[in-house]
A and B are shown apart, each in its own frame.
Chain A
Amino acid sequence: MCLAVPAKVISLEGEDGVVDLGGNRLSVRMALTPGIRVDQWVLVHAGFSIAKIETSDALETWGYLKACYAGDATGLDRDADEMVASSRVAAEGTAR
């Protein structure tokens, strides 16, 4: 009844954090997982982290999702990284 996704904590400022899910970055309120630190993994639901995840478990879920689509086979990961780079450049270029 509740979608929740595993994500890695990228930065923390008090109870506000930013998490990363495959290049998507989300502001998340960390109040429900006190003591969480950068580089740890959390389960995110409706803009809140609701649990800390042991890294190996998170990576397992991540790995599974990865296998779901043909990313590995067609070298998408590398290209996705390229796209990341080029969109960052583009974003910086348009920032006024």
Chain B
Amino acid sequence: MMHEMQKLRVELNRRCDAIGREIRVMEVCGTHTVAAFRSGIRSMLPDNFRLISGPGCPVCVTAQRYIDAAIDLASLPNVIVATYGDMLRVPGLSGSLEKQRAKGADLRVVTSALRALQIARDHPESEVVFLGVGFETTSPATALTILEAARDQVPNFSVLVSHKLVVPAMVALLECDDMSIDGFLCPGHVSVIIGSNAYAPIASRFGKPCVVGGFEPEQILKALVHLTRQIEYGESYVENVYPAVVTESGNATAMDILRRVFVPGDTVWRALGVIPMSGFDLAPEFQAFDALRRFDIHVGEDFDNPSCRCGEVILGRIEPCECALFGNECTPLTPIGPCMVSSEGTCAAWFKYNRHAIAMGARS
């Protein structure tokens, strides 16, 4: 295994040398961001290889107005809000869900949407709202849970839907004029659902190499090697180096269920704004499960702190340390922007694993 790692490192170095100029590859997925830091992959990249973290952290790109709506829901009497642990500390306009819990909100951390539905069954006297966030990997879970709630007629269960789609966001990034990206490390687990073919337009229309990779150190390195190979030869096509679980066409059952329960719609991404057809709304027959309708919650506006440069971080225009607030006002303890609050947010990952990168570089 180590031997294989070594071979991949040598090949990556050789190809990066051959290319010569700076290579900018975006890892779309936040789990790749964290895995690359945790396993130390980032520390072994050639000098002219820049790994840019894209908009692939569902927490980071969840609009503030959604967090505010979630907090509003959590402060209603007799409402239990069930959420993945990821969402607890995301700052809204007036605090976070964690702070709302300190004020008395009934907030439950769950590891599956089905657990939220179970809470609803166990507490028929309360309303249970599940926060449906995440990309295509996660949205089938929400969809199936809604189908089950409909089948079993669980009257006190609803979902605040903020699911997002990856490919439209990648297209939106590429349509910004000043985007200089040489290729994409495509999200392995999203691709399990949507299939590697989903990136074909990006490779053909925009001429960007797309490589689907796994999350173990060796799998990441392998994907990066394949990307640099395409870049070196000036090619652009979709490669799948995570064939253990990713197919060309994805998980047909999951895609069917998504089409049944949701309809694509325009969605606001934090720091990126509205991206056409990049999110999901509930299909008409399931709108009874829409928490916003059920509780008549008004979704407000976004008030982003103007000094927070999350948008540029997510777009790969700047590195977190170029933000004046990074590590000063903005730390995981006092996150200003969403990129700092999510553990897989780019700013948080930098703060956690890389804060002293420069000092370490000087040392070695």
Contacts and interface: CB of A to CB of B under 8 A. Distances in A.
Contacts of B218: 64
B320 interface: no
A32 B1 CA distance: 32
Contacts of A60: 244
A47 B189 contact: no
Query: What size tier do the contact residues of chain A reach?
Result: 20 to 34
A54 interface: yes
Given A1-B30, A1-B57, A1-B190, A54 B144 contact: no
Contact of A32 (B28, B246, B251): B251
Residue among A2, A3, A60 with most chain B CB within 10 A: A2
Contacts of A53: 244-245
A4 B138 CA distance: 10
Nearest to A2: B137
A53 B243 CA distance: 9
A58 B244 contact: yes
A64 to B, nearest CB: 6
B26 interface: no
Nearest to A31: B144
Contacts of A39: none
A60 to B, nearest CB: 8
B84 A2 contact: no
Interface of B: 1, 28-31, 56-58, 84, 111-115, 134-135, 137-138, 140-141, 144, 187, 189-190, 192-193, 214, 216, 218, 243-246, 251, 253-254, 257, 344
10 contacts: A2-B137, A3-B31, A31-B144, A32-B140, A47-B115, A48-B112, A50-B245, A57-B243, A61-B216, A64-B218
